[in-house]
């Protein structure tokens, strides 16, 4: 058996402002660093053999805080843009709640959480899925099948895409899937790559 540990990065400076961040390389807020440390503390009893992150600072800084808490300074990590956040295109840098006022709650929910909602110059969740899932299958799953415990520190949408695949969530139901900053999903994976069990640890300090 192996553990697949998914952690959404802690709150970023733009998360705190309610701004769509996407591929903009924004650091963690102090609250986000605290969430990352809490995530690390929640993982004290789990051996971690290898870590994967996106190439964005907020994911890498979260991993750094987890490493410090767990005294895992020599933990090997692999960065790849396949795990990056969704590209929000023209919405990048705009305030989410102002957009919600402009387009209404229903349209806003489709933009924010829908499966195949196109965004000008950006990605849908389906687009993110189409880069995250092959990366998981080719790079992460072989480690799990070999019995390695793998930590993946990534983003709200790259992790939603992966969880959709892992749990076979429908295109409709994925709209309801929320992963908070600092939240942890732990899957127990058998030697064939199948999920045996799952648990969720809430370490967020209150913002999605």
Looking at the chain, list the stretches that DSSP marks H as alpha helix, in order from N- to C-terminal side: 13-17, 30-42, 57-70, 96-103, 105-113, 125-135, 141-145, 156-167
Looking at the annotation, which residues are catalytic? 9, 85
Q: When comparing pLDDT for 197 and 203, which is higher?
A: 197
Whether residue 208 is predicted with pLDDT greater than 50 in this model: the reply is no
Report whether 52 contacts 140 (CB < 8 A): yes
- This prediction's pTM: 0.95
pLDDT attached to residue 204: 56
Report whether 139 contacts 40 (CB < 8 A): no
Whether residue 79 is predicted with pLDDT greater than 50 in this model: the reply is yes
**Mean pLDDT, the chain, integer:** 95
Q: Which CATH class is domain 2-155+165-201?
A: alpha beta
pLDDT attached to residue 76: 94
């Amino acid at each position: 058996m192996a553990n697949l540990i998914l952690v959404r990065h802690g709150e970023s400076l733009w998360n705190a402002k309610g701004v769509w961040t996407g591929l903009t390389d924004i650091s963690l807020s102090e609250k986000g660093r605290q969430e990352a440390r809490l995530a690390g503390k929640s993982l004290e009893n789990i051996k971690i053999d290898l870590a994967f992150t996106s190439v964005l600072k907020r994911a890498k800084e979260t991993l750094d805080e987890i490493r410090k808490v767990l005294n895992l300074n020599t933990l090997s990590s692999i960065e790849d843009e396949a795990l990056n956040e969704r590209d929000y295109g023209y919405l990048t840098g705009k305030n989410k709640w102002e957009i919600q006022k402009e387009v209404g709650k229903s349209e806003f929910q489709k933009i924010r959480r829908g499966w195949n909602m196109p965004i000008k110059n950006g990605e849908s969740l389906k687009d993110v899925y189409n880069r995250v899932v092959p990366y998981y299958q080719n790079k992460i799953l072989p480690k799990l099948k070999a019995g390695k415990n793998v930590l993946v520190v990534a983003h709200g949408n790259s992790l939603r895409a992966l969880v959709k695949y892992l749990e076979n969530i429908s295109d409709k139901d994925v709209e309801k899937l929320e992963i908070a900053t600092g939240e942890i999903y732990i899957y127990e994976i058998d030697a064939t790559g199948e999920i045996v069990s799952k648990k969720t640890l809430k370490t967020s300090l209150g913002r999605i």
